């Protein structure tokens, strides 16, 4: 909608100089969002279908396109949410394959959590870079963790869960999605035998006791 100054300023609204840029931009945004939401893609996490859409505020950088695996014996979280998103690679990334540089993901958010026996691995082309932590009695601690995955498995238990909530209205976590995006949130979550196939992650705090990094012929086991 035009502002009052747009309506009254005849010098800028003549037929020779129409104010159309903002309308065109709004149209492009609407068309792009509609195209993304029309993609018939779903991801199953703990038996719950999460629809995918653009605009979630999880990972906010250009991903490399090289996926990494995270496993843990147990994840315990206070404040949990999930919603759909798109991760983007740099233009003409060598890792984009047939994706066009965009990867459909589910963003999982943990406001405050602990992980037991964490393992993270990335395939560097025949050799794995493996990181382990939290396997000697002191758990890995995270705050405001947001991790983007295209596959998640495990045994999940939620406390006070809300399924189908608009992702822009979450109040159990600080990270939210776009208006109209299908999501779920819970007061608490416990996941055992956790496996995630991920493309990106962010965290306000990530404490890794007993950290070890090494190269190996094998990555983290599912």
The mean-pLDDT minimum among 11-15, 78-82, 96-100, 192-196 falls in 11-15
What pLDDT, on a 0 to 100 scale, did the predictor assign at position 39?
32
pLDDT at site 60: 73
With a pLDDT cut of 90, the percent of the chain lying above it is 68
Asked if pLDDT for residue 104 goes beyond 60, the answer is: yes
> What's residue 221's pLDDT?
86
pLDDT band for 64, please (50, 70, 90 cuts): very high
Provide the pLDDT confidence category of residue 33 given band limits of 50, 70 and 90: very low
Does the reported pTM lie above 0.75?
no
pLDDT band, very low/low/confident/very high, at 177 (cuts 50, 70, 90): confident
pLDDT bucket at 58, cuts 50 / 70 / 90: low
Assess whether pLDDT exceeds 90 at residue 74.
yes
First to last CA, the chain: 52
Average pLDDT over residues 166-188: 93
Q: What is the mean pLDDT of the chain?
A: 80
pLDDT at 20 exceeding the cut of 60? no
**How high is the pLDDT of residue 117?**
97
Q: Which position has the higher pLDDT, 149 or 58?
A: 149
The answer, yes or no, to whether residue 187 has pLDDT greater than 70, is yes
State the residue for tokens 């963790």: 145
pLDDT in tens, 113-163: 999 999 999 999 989 999 999 999 999 999 999 999 999 999 999 999 999
| Residues 50-87 as b or e (16 or more Cβ within 10 Å = b) | bbbbbbbbbbeeebebebbbbbbbbbbbbbbbbbbbbb
Written as one string, the DSSP assignment of the chain is ---HHHHH-GGGSSTTS---HHHHHHHHHHHHHHHHHTS--EEEETTEEEE--S--SS--S-B-S--EEEEEEEEEEEEEEEEEEEEEBPTT-TT-TTTTTEEEEEEEEEEEEEEESEEEEEE-SSSEEEEEES-SSS-EEEEEEEEEEEEEEEEEEEEEEEEEEEGGG--SSS----TT-EEEEEEEEEEEEEEEEEEEEE-SEEE-TT-EEEEESS----
């Amino acid at each position: 909608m035009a502002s009052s100054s747009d309506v009254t300023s005849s010098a800028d609204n003549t037929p020779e100089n129409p104010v159309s840029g903002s309308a065109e931009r709004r149209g492009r945004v609407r068309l792009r969002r509609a195209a993304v939401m029309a993609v018939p893609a779903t991801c199953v996490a703990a038996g719950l279908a999460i629809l995918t859409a653009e605009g979630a505020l999880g990972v906010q950088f250009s991903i490399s396109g090289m996926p990494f695996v995270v496993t843990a014996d147990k994840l315990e979280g206070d404040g949990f949410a999930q919603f759909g998103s798109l991760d983007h690679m740099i233009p003409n990334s060598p890792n984009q394959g047939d994706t066009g540089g965009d990867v459909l993901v589910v963003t999982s958010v943990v406001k405050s959590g602990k992980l037991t026996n964490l393992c993270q691995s990335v395939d560097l082309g025949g050799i794995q870079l493996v990181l382990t932590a939290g396997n000697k009695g002191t758990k890995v601690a995270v705050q405001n963790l947001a991790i983007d995955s295209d596959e998640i498995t495990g045994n999940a238990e939620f406390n006070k869960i809300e399924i189908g909530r608009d992702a822009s209205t979450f109040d159990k976590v600080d990270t939210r999605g776009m208006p109209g995006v299908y999501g779920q949130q819970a007061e608490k979550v416990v996941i055992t035998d956790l496996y995630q196939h991920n493309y990106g992650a962010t965290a306000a705090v990530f404490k890794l006791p007993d950290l070890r990094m090494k190269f190996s012929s094998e990555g983290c086991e599912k």
